[in-house]
Chain A
């Protein structure tokens, strides 16, 4: 293995330790990842935009600061590079939401999370691919290109954050940011053997996250280890007065909880198996890895109980009313007036503002986005508002109550993250409902605002990664980090290292021949 390959295969926290001890510079880290990006992109296609020059400048600035001022006041991950889902605005770097309607748009401001990353000296490698406006579960709905799963490039990486998950899974970036509205961080994490966290709603500022469904959207970390995710959430989390739903409290001690978990002592912890998230529709190989992982939690002292959340079977339906309703409202801003695409109506059609909007939105939005906007407008229209939107909001209350009751019986809840492993391109594109079912286990957390995360649980009998999901109570994100880190440590002992050791990485072979750099 070349020195470069060895470097990029480390966890972000190990990279950070090497930065501080002077074994490696931030520039070397950025350059190593840019080299991997160049080698991997022809087969992975995780990035929409690579930000090489600026990332190197940011790295140099960090290296100088570290040399002159030391690491005082900097977070642990300072100087470690990161990739950003192209759903988060970055000043001076094109931001598209993987939509033609925003193609070429260069935002005049940074999202709050980007400001925080910059303040932490974390170079931004580029912007990652997604389903258009984060609407999809396979990244096939990107207007620009599909992203490939590093475990099998004939298969999807999940979505909507398939770009961030594949980039981190393929060692193109040690860390990434995602957005999770119904599972868009966790489900790709599950399908690519990476870690994905949806923090408590309001735990991370959404200022500068392109709005999809505002009562559900949450920015969160993508990584290859639980500790890395905890450290990243500590960097991006916390109160922001620019987001009216931001929780006015400090970030809980997440890295501390992860480090405690690594000791693999879960005595006194009650783990609740959610009865409704399993069984029919879940692949046997997924259930097998899930059950083995539950046994491991027990072997570390956790007490496992079964809990029932009787309204979870209604969560998917409620989500597909609430989410499109909010989408139809949020995406009304793409009107061809102030930024983004403008298409004038065809000849013979009056060249009015209204007709320009209709022509622009017809040309600029893809099929899935149109489907959701039309459905949302319908759900909010007079005559159906009470029957659909009103009922869905009531289901939301019932799901929250289910969580509250379950958390009276258990400290954390667990389930498989996704009912299946990664599927083939095109397999679910003609059947929206089959695609929507991917998120059946992740959606309840978005409806209830609870934190949840997915970690790798091993490979199914098809050789593809399976995800294990933890849920914690609202504003208690640290509660899930401890057992997640414990399970990760126990599994890695069985595997003889992280799950990525089992991943074949032909795109890194070129680096091995060029290890003199």
Chain B
């Protein structure tokens, strides 16, 4: 086992897979567990220098948010917007059912 925090368990990796909506196989989960433990161990060092007095940066070049001029424009046509869809019907995207059977 690699030292340092945090240590991933197989169950945690499977749970993260569920959150990510990726149906990981058991084999993938095991491999990811090993790899992520090594990576996690190495990136935890950011905490060494992240003092309370240091403000966080989200965007390196902060700009003021603005609204574009209120001018009408041609959006994508319905046909173009649907052109890459896996399944369509009557000009709409078709999704599998949202709820399970139970």
Binding site for B on A (CB under 8 A): 105-109, 200-202, 215, 241, 244-245, 247-248, 311, 314, 317-318, 320-321, 328, 332, 335-342, 344-345, 350-359, 361-362, 365, 367, 370-371, 373-375, 377-378, 381, 384, 387-388, 390-398, 400, 432-433, 447-450, 474-475
Contact in complex: A377, B20 (CB < 8 Å): yes
B19 touches A (CB below 8 Å) = yes
Which chain B residues border A337 with CB–CB below 8 Å?
A: 85-86, 93, 95
CA distance A355 to B32 in the complex (A): 21
CA distance A350 to B99 in the complex (A): 9
Contact in complex: A338, B85 (CB < 8 Å): yes
- In chain B, positions 26-84 with a C-beta closer than 8 Å to chain A are 28, 32, 35-36, 38-40, 42-51, 54-61, 63, 65, 68, 76, 80-81, 83-84
Residue of chain A at shortest CB distance from B29: A374
A–B complex contacts, Cβ < 8 Å, 26 sampled = A108-B80, A108-B83, A201-B60, A245-B59, A314-B49, A317-B42, A320-B43, A321-B46, A332-B21, A338-B85, A341-B86, A345-B23, A350-B101, A355-B23, A370-B20, A371-B35, A377-B16, A378-B16, A388-B43, A391-B46, A393-B56, A394-B54, A394-B55, A394-B56, A394-B57, A396-B57
Chain B nearest CB, measured from A385 CB (Å)? 11
CB contact under 8 A between A335 and B17, given known A201-B61, A371-B36, A394-B56: no
Which chain B residues border A340 with CB–CB below 8 Å?
A: 84, 86
Chain B nearest CB, measured from A243 CB (Å)? 10
Residue of chain B at shortest CB distance from A351: B96
Which chain A residues border B43 with CB–CB below 8 Å?
A: 317-318, 320-321, 388, 392
CB contact under 8 A between A400 and B57, given known A108-B76, A317-B43, A390-B50: yes
CB contact under 8 A between A396 and B56, given known A317-B43, A391-B50, A433-B38: yes
Task: Other than A321-B46, A340-B84, A361-B22, give 5 A-B pairs with Cβ distance below 8 A.
Answer: A328-B20, A362-B22, A377-B16, A390-B50, A397-B57
Of A200, A311, A359, A373, the contact of B49 (CB 8 Å cutoff): A311
Contact in complex: A371, B32 (CB < 8 Å): yes
Contact in complex: A352, B76 (CB < 8 Å): no
Contact in complex: B63, A247 (CB < 8 Å): yes
Of A365, A384, A391, the contact of B6 (CB 8 Å cutoff): A384
Contact in complex: B36, A375 (CB < 8 Å): yes
Binding site for A on B (CB under 8 A): 6, 8, 13, 16-25, 28, 32, 35-36, 38-40, 42-51, 54-61, 63, 65, 68, 76, 80-81, 83-87, 93, 95-101
CB contact under 8 A between A374 and B22, given known A321-B43, A337-B93: yes
CA distance A339 to B49 in the complex (A): 43
Contact in complex: B57, A353 (CB < 8 Å): no
CA distance A398 to B53 in the complex (A): 11
Contact in complex: A105, B84 (CB < 8 Å): yes
Which chain B residues border A449 with CB–CB below 8 Å?
A: 59-61
Of A317, A336, A354, the contact of B86 (CB 8 Å cutoff): A336
Of B23, B84, B96, the contact of A108 (CB 8 Å cutoff): B84
Contact in complex: A352, B97 (CB < 8 Å): yes
CB contact under 8 A between A244 and B65, given known A344-B96, A396-B57: yes
Contact in complex: B56, A390 (CB < 8 Å): yes
CA distance A454 to B56 in the complex (A): 29
- Interface centre among B17, B38, B87, by most A CB within 10 Å? B17
CB contact under 8 A between A202 and B63, given known A356-B96, A361-B23, A393-B58: yes
Contact in complex: B84, A362 (CB < 8 Å): no
Contact in complex: A373, B55 (CB < 8 Å): no
Residue of chain B at shortest CB distance from A387: B47
Which chain A residues border B63 with CB–CB below 8 Å?
A: 202, 244-245, 247-248
Contact in complex: A432, B35 (CB < 8 Å): yes
Chain B nearest CB, measured from A432 CB (Å)? 6
CB contact under 8 A between A432 and B39, given known A201-B61, A352-B97, A387-B47: yes
Which chain A residues border B57 with CB–CB below 8 Å?
A: 393-394, 396-397, 400
CB contact under 8 A between A357 and B21, given known A247-B63, A449-B61: yes
Which chain A residues border B58 with CB–CB below 8 Å?
A: 215, 393
Which chain B residues border A388 with CB–CB below 8 Å?
A: 43-44, 46
CA distance A317 to B68 in the complex (A): 37
Which chain B residues border A105 with CB–CB below 8 Å?
A: 84
Contact in complex: B22, A108 (CB < 8 Å): no
CA distance A190 to B62 in the complex (A): 30
Contact in complex: A358, B56 (CB < 8 Å): no
Which chain B residues border A398 with CB–CB below 8 Å?
A: 49, 54
Of B23, B60, B81, B84, the contact of A400 (CB 8 Å cutoff): B60
Which chain A residues border B8 with CB–CB below 8 Å?
A: 378
Contact in complex: B24, A362 (CB < 8 Å): yes
Which chain B residues border A357 with CB–CB below 8 Å?
A: 21
Chain A nearest CB, measured from B86 CB (Å)? 4
